[in-house]
Amino acid sequence: MPFKPVPQKFNAKINSLTVGTGDRTATLGGESSYPFYGFDAPIENRPKIGVEISDIGADNSLPGIAEYYKGCSTLPELAKRASEMPGADFLAISLDGAHPDNGDRSVEDTTALVKEAAAAVDIPIVIEGCRNIEKDAKLFEKIAEALDGRNVLFLSAREENYKSVSAAAAMAYSQKIGAESAVDINLAKQLNVLISQMGVKTESVAMNLGSAAAGYGFEYVATTFDRVKSAALAQNDNMLQMPIVTPVASETWTVKESIVSEADFPEWGPAEERGVNMEIATASACLAAGSNAVILRHPESVAAVSKLIAELI
Amino acid sequence: MALKGLDIFKLTPKTNCKDCGNPTCMAFAMKVAQGAIELGKCPHLSEEAKTQLGDAAAPPMKKIEIGKGEDKFTLGGETVLFRHDKTFVSKNLFAVAVCEDSIDKKLPDVRRVDYDRLGERMYVEFLNVIDKGDADKFADTAKKAAAEGRGVILETADAAAAEKALAVAGDRVILNGANAANYERFAEIAGERAALGVSGKTLDELYDTVAALEKLGFKNLILDVTGETVKDTFAAAVQARRAALKDNDRTFGYPSIVNLHKLAKGEAHLQTALASVFTLKYGSIIIMSEMEYAQALPLYGLRQNIYTDPQKPMKVEPGIYPIGGADENSICVTTVDFALTYFVVSGELERSGVPLNLLISDAGGYSVLTAWAAGKLSAGSIAKFMKDFDIEGKIKSRTLVIPGKVAVLKGEIEEKLAGWKVVVAPNEAVELVKFFREFKS
């Protein structure tokens, strides 16, 4: 008697969201199955990988990063090099230098810098902001205008600034926005509802549901992602059908395992290798739980995760 | 088919005798239906009722024990596909693949990864011994592996080699080599001595072989779902587990083995990625080519997270945790024993590069605000901790930094701790690096 698999068919699907224009675009989502369950239903778009660079330069304390970005000193040069990384689907620009505690570069200067970097590449672009709510709202407004027509994704609109981000980025310039919540399905849904009530099309919205490094409360991440995908597919909840974009690198490169020196923990071996594995393990777990895109930094992590995706699709 | 509580209740004696430990027969029946207790707990069930209920009331996935007594390994016994539906119960275990040529070189590395994380021992639980075609060398390698104080997986489809190795492989053994051609002989060899790993060229063949073994009365099984490709393997792992737990097909109600040494030979980073995926999705034993600290740290951390019972928060032991090379002159910082808070705070403190003594007091495993609201974190609890752990005797600094969210406790703590200066930290952990880099005591 042969095995009779029972495929899980859903009459609902994750929204497709395209970033970028022209020859190089990245489409996220579109599937009507759990992550990598190609045996249930064909997977429309494979998950995508974003390569993160910072407006304050590459982290040259890591030999692998320093080597990859060797000779790049400006943001446009970094952007160009990152866009050529094997496995890169989009570029994620983190505007750390605009944060009030980290240089407080002005909105005008930052916008000019981003515009210059964007002009140097044809790869789809995600703007990650500086993670200061007021400053991000101002930055996104100006950058949305400066990159009009590039179909950029802004990460993120949060509960405190979604109105201005939605109005400026999504409505005035038809860019895409990511709704950011902190690892909680109810907060995620509430923010999506609020944004759609502003009149933003749900197809223009992605979700950043938050993340955590492996070992640092990842159970909340896995469970939130599981529940969101289940609500989106099994219950056809259209306020949770947005594709999930997860910035992984910013979580994994700050934990103890990735940063303490080999001198302090000789048995652990070189810090960079630990950081790379932490980035790979966390990104892979995010993808297995439901991320439609992950944002990474290290070329070796990008290579491994892109191989993983190719093998699983 | 899963039974409803009422169906079970009809077959109980309905005497409410409490011999099963439940107040009523109805309560007992409901718990059996949920899989919370076994049918056998009721001593008064008729034989007829037992046969009628036996199969249907059995858990959908068997719990397989490797070895006996305190050091046995437990696999399977899962009841849900997603941890939020209840909880996962048997954490996945890791193995490293060795053969006669590589075992001596690999053992020192395997031994090195052995540490404690939140009270859980993190190490490579199994050695997977590969048969390279020489039965004597295979048995020698198995013997060496057994001497390591770990479980042993014997990877061979050759009956003579299996018999030889099994005799010397210790008492925590999985004989992984049964297939459609040899299963009868392998069931005989494994007998009572070992759990039997079964594989098939296709999922159908695996299914039929398991069914045939069950017919022989052999149910101490593990499914080797490793296929030709990563994609096939993932599909097999998910479909087998889902068939058992969602579709009540008990033929696939066994734990699984995923062999990444075969799937991603030599590619350490790809193995890390795959091990992570199979930790979430249904690998019970994951076989790696090696296990370096760089891989172990994220993988064991991830596993600990995923297998946490959602109803029981992870706690850190109260005590002094020196950070950044802190000594008795370094200032003190305190927070609660909720594991997530501890990890986030200690990570940020580590990142600040400032030497600090992190004091963790017993706050019931709650986060800062919850613990404070529940009365588990107060000036009194902090003062008691300082006394119980003789902080004044162990640390010379008299500066204590408290979480920003309980700034209100400052005055009261200063009253209770004579001679201490209490400083309030920022509200959010991400602000700690800046705070401590600029800190002047």
* Cβ <8 Å between B231 and A5: no
- Cβ(B123)–Cβ(B148) under 8 Å? no
ipTM over 0.90: yes
Q: Can you give the pLDDT at residue A77?
A: 97
Q: Can you give the pLDDT at residue B1?
A: 42
For chain A, the domain total comes to 1
Q: Which residues pair with B322 in a beta bridge?
A: B357
| Position with higher pLDDT, B386 vs B39 | B386
> Where are the extended beta strands (E) located within B8-125?
63-66, 73-76, 93-98, 114-117, 120-123
Q: For chain B, which residues make up each domain, given as ranges? A: 5-57, 63-306, 319-437
Rounded to the nearest integer, the mean pLDDT of chain B is 91
Q: What is the mean pLDDT of residues B174-198?
A: 95
Cα–Cα dist A200/B3, whole Å: 48
Share of chain A above pLDDT 70, in %: 100
Alpha helices per DSSP H over A206-298: 218-234, 249-252, 256-259, 271-289
* Cβ <8 Å between A215 and B267: no
Q: What is the mean pLDDT of residues B131-137?
A: 96
- Cβ(B167)–Cβ(B127) under 8 Å? no
Q: Which residues of B284-303 are buried (b: 16+ CB within 10 A; e: fewer)?
A: bbbbbbbbbbbbbbbbbbbb
Q: Can you give the pLDDT at residue A168?
A: 86
* Cβ <8 Å between A216 and B310: no
Q: Which residues of A touch B272 (CB under 8 A)?
A: 277, 280-281, 284, 304
- The per-residue pLDDT for range B309-344, each reduced to its tens digit, is 877 777 888 999 999 889 999 999 999 998 888 888
Q: Are strands B256-259 and A48-54 parallel, antiparallel or unpaired?
A: unpaired
- The per-residue pLDDT for range A228-246, each reduced to its tens digit, is 999 999 999 999 999 999 9
Cα–Cα dist B60/B253, whole Å: 6
Indicate the pLDDT class of residue B113, thresholds 50, 70 and 90: very high
Of B82, B276, B292, the CB nearest to A281: B276
Of B234, B340, B434, the CB nearest to A217: B340
Domain B319-437 belongs to what architecture? 3-Layer(aba) Sandwich (3.40)
- Picking from A229, A257, A280 by the largest number of B CB atoms within 10 A of its own CB, the best residue to mutate is A280
Of B276, B294, B305, the CB nearest to A269: B294
B87 contacts chain A (CB < 8 A): no
Which range, of A107-111, B287-291, B426-430, averages the lowest pLDDT?
B426-430
pLDDT at B3 over 70: no
Cα–Cα dist B329/B355, whole Å: 9
Indicate the pLDDT class of residue B348, thresholds 50, 70 and 90: confident
Give residues 239 to 268 of B whose Cβ lies within 8 Å of A: 239, 242-243, 246-247, 249, 251-252, 267
Residues B411, B413, B417, B419, CA torsion sign: negative
CA distance readout (Å), A155 to A114, A270, B130, B278, B419: 15, 32, 49, 29, 48
CB atoms within 10 A of CB B136: 11
A226 contacts chain B (CB < 8 A): yes
* Cβ <8 Å between B84 and A215: no
Q: Which chain A residue has its CA at the smallest distance from B251's CA?
A: A3
Give residues 3 to 22 of A whose Cβ lies within 8 Å of B: 3-6, 8
Cα–Cα dist A210/A216, whole Å: 13
Residue A15 is given by DSSP the state P
Cα–Cα dist B347/A256, whole Å: 5
Q: Are strands B285-288 and B332-335 parallel, antiparallel or unpaired?
A: unpaired
Give residues 399 to 438 of B whose Cβ lies within 8 Å of A: 434
Q: Can you give the pLDDT at residue B56?
A: 65
In the numeric block, the tokens 């350490």 are attached to B268
Q: Which chain A residue has its CA at the smallest distance from B299's CA?
A: A281
| Position with higher pLDDT, A121 vs B347 | A121
Please check whether residue A63 lies inside any domain of the structure: yes
Tokens of A42: 């064909």
Q: Can you give the pLDDT at residue B178?
A: 96
- The per-residue pLDDT for range A37-78, each reduced to its tens digit, is 999 999 999 999 999 999 999 988 999 999 999 999 999 999
CA angle B36, B37, B42 (to 5 degrees): 150
B342: left (phi over 0), alpha (psi -120 to 50) or beta: alpha
Share of chain B above pLDDT 70, in %: 98
- Cβ(B263)–Cβ(B287) under 8 Å? no
- Cβ(B206)–Cβ(B199) under 8 Å? yes
Find the length of chain B.
441
Q: What is the mean pLDDT of residues A169-186?
A: 91
Q: Domain containing A58 — which CATH number?
A: 3.20.20.20
Q: Decide: residue B159, CB within 10 A, 0-12 exposed, 13-18 middle, 19+ buried.
A: middle
| Position with higher pLDDT, A17 vs B33 | A17
Of A2, A101, A313, the CB nearest to B204: A2
Q: What is the mean pLDDT of residues B339-363?
A: 89
pLDDT at B52 over 60: yes
Indicate the pLDDT class of residue B59, thresholds 50, 70 and 90: confident
Q: Which chain A residue has its CA at the smallest distance from B294's CA?
A: A274
Please check whether residue A8 lies inside any domain of the structure: no
CB atoms within 10 A of CB B117: 16
- Cβ(B188)–Cβ(B59) under 8 Å? no
* Cβ <8 Å between B350 and A259: yes
A281 contacts chain B (CB < 8 A): yes
Please check whether residue A11 lies inside any domain of the structure: no
Q: What is the mean pLDDT of residues A206-212?
A: 95
* Cβ <8 Å between B234 and A36: yes
Of A1, A255, A276, the CB nearest to B211: A1
Give residue A220's domain range.
16-312
CA-wise closest residue to B177 among B168, B164, B190: B190
| Position with higher pLDDT, A227 vs B366 | A227
Please check whether residue A299 lies inside any domain of the structure: yes
In the numeric block, the tokens 């909340």 are attached to A220
A310 contacts chain B (CB < 8 A): no
- Cβ(A138)–Cβ(A107) under 8 Å? yes
Q: What is the mean pLDDT of residues A86-90?
A: 97
pLDDT at A301 over 70: yes
Domain B5-57 belongs to what architecture? Orthogonal Bundle (1.10)
Domain B63-306 belongs to what architecture? Alpha-Beta Barrel (3.20)
Rounded to the nearest integer, the mean pLDDT of chain A is 95
Tokens of A62: 């890591």
| Position with higher pLDDT, A48 vs B57 | A48
* Cβ <8 Å between A219 and B270: no
What would the 3-class secondary structure string for A110-140 be?
HHHHHHHHHHCCCCCEEEEECCCHHHHHHHH
Cα–Cα dist B428/B430, whole Å: 5
Q: Which residues pair with B312 in a beta bridge?
A: none
What is the phi/psi pair of residue B310, to 5°?
-55, -20
CA distance readout (Å), B121 to B125, B207, B315: 10, 35, 15
Indicate the pLDDT class of residue B416, thresholds 50, 70 and 90: very high
pLDDT at A167 over 90: no
pTM of the model: 0.88
